Structure 1
């Protein structure tokens, strides 16, 4: 009988509540738990992610998962597919690939994602429109060591985010939000002035310790993000 992630999650939660694993304790690795529960590592990973979202454990890449001293409620950010976001607002979605090139991994990106020297990335810039109005400028890098098939993928009709979601899951993500001032290229594509303030979202994702992608998303003036927790 196949073990469901909910069974794994419930059992781990029970052990934490009963004190089998106390505050600050390091939980067994995903590989060890997968062997114990006789399930796939991805099943354990999903259970751990949900326990982290509920504030029972804290997960750190390369450092493992520990029981939190004081359970907290953590925000759960929904990462939308921009097509769905635009169409749910009643607008017509349009996508355009602006540029595409395979390049040696820049030093700043290698340091950020923990990549080895000598690798290559696929660098894409794309535009997303709502009713023909500029909505989002996407500046994305895909690690070809992890996803070599991306080098041959057709991104002229489907954006890289939709392609990545269909191609590979992610186990870890880092997301940051900030204000930015529009540089010349971004201003040209978003139809704003150079130096105008814009909303910026940056996201890096990994799957089982392998870096997948890093993206910078600049939104049109007046964009507002809403999330639930």
Structure 2
């Protein structure tokens, strides 16, 4: 019989976390119990748990065991920023405006991108982040309600989906893309630009195990710069 590798175990534990088999903050079975379940050595289970801990999905403490992280810390090559903190760190005053919030069936392009089934329900949120009263980022976000059902009851009237997801939706991998584009009429109106004016666009999709969490398109005025430290 094939023995489970640490990758097999890590993937299955990620899947259980994504399906809320264990809720955030809940204590998980110990290494001995997991080793018996998966038919693997404790060292193999330990390695899988170490990787999950490094990704921020779980927390491990001596004597108190292993639990699903309440507020995941992500160790990624490019961290997901909280826009409020980004603006305030620059010394500017932050302002947030909700422009649109509605539950919708995922359109075809989104189903293809996220691997969703026909009829998949999503929460579509469009909002604007401002710095000192000037448009800083137009956020157009789709949230997969099958992966994050709690998002469906959030009104996002005063706090952005960006902040809420960072605190409440752990992810195990992400894809980023950056590029230049021309503002469509809605983006131009929100950012106080002329339609067709050049804008800086960042897109990000996140997953937990094999389940997509969210896809977001973030549009900035042409003066925007991305700065990162390594």
TM-score, length-scaled by structure 2: 0.71
1:205 correspondence with 2:183 = no
Q: Which runs of 5+ in 1 are unaligned?
A: 1-26, 50-74
Distance (Å, rounded) in 2 between the aligned partners of 1:136 and 1:122 = 19
1:44 alignment partner in structure 2:
51
| Equivalence map 1:11-50=2 (5 Å) | 28-31=6-9, 35=35, 36-37=42-43, 38-39=45-46, 43-47=50-54
SS of corresponding position for 1:29: helix
Aligned residue pairs total 178
Distance (Å, rounded) in 1 between the aligned partners of 2:213 and 2:50 = 20
Confirm or deny: 8 A CA contact 1:76 1:228 kept in the other structure: no
Query: 1:73-126, CA deviations, whole angstroms, 9 ceiling, x for partnerless residues?
Result: xx9223211101100111000001000111111111111011122211000000
1:101 correspondence with 2:102 = yes
Distance (Å, rounded) in 2 between the aligned partners of 1:191 and 1:32 = 46
1:128 alignment partner in structure 2:
129
1:196 alignment partner in structure 2:
197
- The verdict on how the C-alpha distance between 1:209 and 1:42 changes in structure 2, with shifts beyond 3 A counting, is farther
1:218 alignment partner in structure 2:
219
Query: 1:170-202, CA deviations, whole angstroms, 9 ceiling, x for partnerless residues?
Result: 101000001010110000000111111110000
Confirm or deny: 8 A CA contact 1:96 1:126 kept in the other structure: yes
| Equivalence map 1:75-224=2 (5 Å) | 76-224=77-225
Query: 1:52-88, CA deviations, whole angstroms, 9 ceiling, x for partnerless residues?
Result: xxxxxxxxxxxxxxxxxxxxxxx92232111011001
- The verdict on how the C-alpha distance between 1:165 and 1:48 changes in structure 2, with shifts beyond 3 A counting, is closer
Distance (Å, rounded) in 2 between the aligned partners of 1:32 and 1:149 = 25
SS of corresponding position for 2:228: coil
Distance (Å, rounded) in 1 between the aligned partners of 2:10 and 2:182 = 47
- The verdict on how the C-alpha distance between 1:130 and 1:166 changes in structure 2, with shifts beyond 3 A counting, is same
1:228 alignment partner in structure 2:
229
TM-score, length-scaled by structure 1: 0.72
Q: Which runs of 5+ in 2 are unaligned?
A: 12-30, 36-41, 57-75
Distance (Å, rounded) in 2 between the aligned partners of 1:89 and 1:76 = 22
